[in-house]
A and B are shown apart, each in its own frame.
Chain A
Amino acid sequence: MQHSSTQDTLVGLFVAAGIAGLFFLALQVSNLSSFTEQEGYTITARFENSGGLKVKSPVSAAGVKIGQVSAISFDPKTYESVVKMRINAQYNSIPDDTTASIFTAGLLGEQYVSLEPGGSSEYLKEDGKIEITQSAIILEKAIGQFLFKSAEEKK
């Protein structure tokens, strides 16, 4: 057995290295540094079809992430998809006639909500609703329509 104070130092170094490893994983590897439990407000948008949108999908405006999807549910009366989005508190000047569309990042990437601000001087607040929405583009549908159209043109 080694001298006791050397041993203490080594144990100390080991524990410190282990904790440093955990911190490295938490801060450098995962998304903890941009943790999303910050101040914000929730807005709702109704889509005819929300496609592959998931909880935690990003919500962006002009390409910048300003919040994330917090819940998606189906409205059995209107047969629409109700998407709740949590917007970070610092972005509190989104006009209430903003358009929400669901886009896909790249051809096969994940889907996200894109907000295109309108011109109104009223801003969206907690529990605000976005009236103008554009559904997700379903690739299979688009391809089907294209094929159908080109077949008709040939006739």
Chain B
Amino acid sequence: MMDFIQTLGRNTRSSFTKLGRATFFLVQTVIGIADILPRPRLLLNQLYSVGVLSFLIISISGLFVGMVLGLQGFYILSDFGAEETLGVMVAASLVRELGPVVSALLFAGRAGSALTAEIGLMKATEQLSGMEMMAVDPIKRIISPRFLAGFISMPLLAALFSAIGIIGGQIVGSGLLGVDDGAYWSQMQAKLDFQDDIINGVIKSLVFGFVTSWIALFEGYDAIPTSEGVSRATTRTVVTAAFSILGLDFVLTALMFGDD
């Protein structure tokens, strides 16, 4: 019994100190962003490895998610004779929920884990300490550009995911199943609101990009500098990021779409 209470106390204390370290890390990272402006090359390199390399997986997943939505939506809606509203269903679910959430989950798996492994290995091979010895701040040089790149890429990737998904839904819906093409688009345009749907989706993806990059970089930076430590940190990144994305999605949805 005493053991249990002791463990509980230790775990609580260590998770709070970790949260404190993470917050401190985030503040330093955000301050470090100011130093990227004179060296845009650093950001560009990271946009390539975080954004461009995630592009393919995001677009292909988006296409398939949209196609599945088109197929499932058609079968359910045709029971009520409401196939024409397929466009609304596909677009609303993609823009509001699936676009930001699924692309953030894929982003955490594709780019987040890579970031953690990279930073963790840099720490394990003492590259970060080496930089400090040369009076180069590793946070400004390594972390901030990656953080900013994740923050910028995420909304772009989510928008691509939704756009490609909507086209995928249209390919299946009006191409294969015979929903009227004009109805698909016009119902969608009539029902989706720019402010309520598109902007809120973009806000969601900005939040997810922020949180995912923060978690991935912090886990790498905070990893125990051994091969096992890095592998654990990588796992933690994916798990923590997935939980945070889904939990935050619930909170954001409740805040954004609660009162209409």
A residues contacting B by CB (< 8 A) are: 1-2, 7-8, 10-11, 13-15, 17-22, 24-26, 28-35
Contacts and interface: CB of A to CB of B under 8 A. Distances in A.
Nearest to B82: A108
Given A22-B202, A29-B188, A11 B193 contact: no
Interface of B: 44-45, 47-48, 51-52, 55, 91, 95, 153, 155-157, 159-160, 162-164, 166, 185, 188-190, 192-194, 197-198, 201-202
Contacts, number: 86
Chain B interface mostly: helix
B156 A26 contact: no
Contacts of A35: 194
A21 B160 contact: yes
B149 to A, nearest CB: 10
A10 B49 CA distance: 10
Contacts of A28: 185, 189
B192 A29 contact: yes
Nearest to A32: B194
Contact of B156 (A18, A30, A32): A18
B163 A25 contact: yes
**The 7 nearest A-B residue pairs measured at CB:** A18-B156, A21-B159, A21-B163, A32-B194, A21-B160, A30-B194, A22-B159
B189 A33 contact: yes
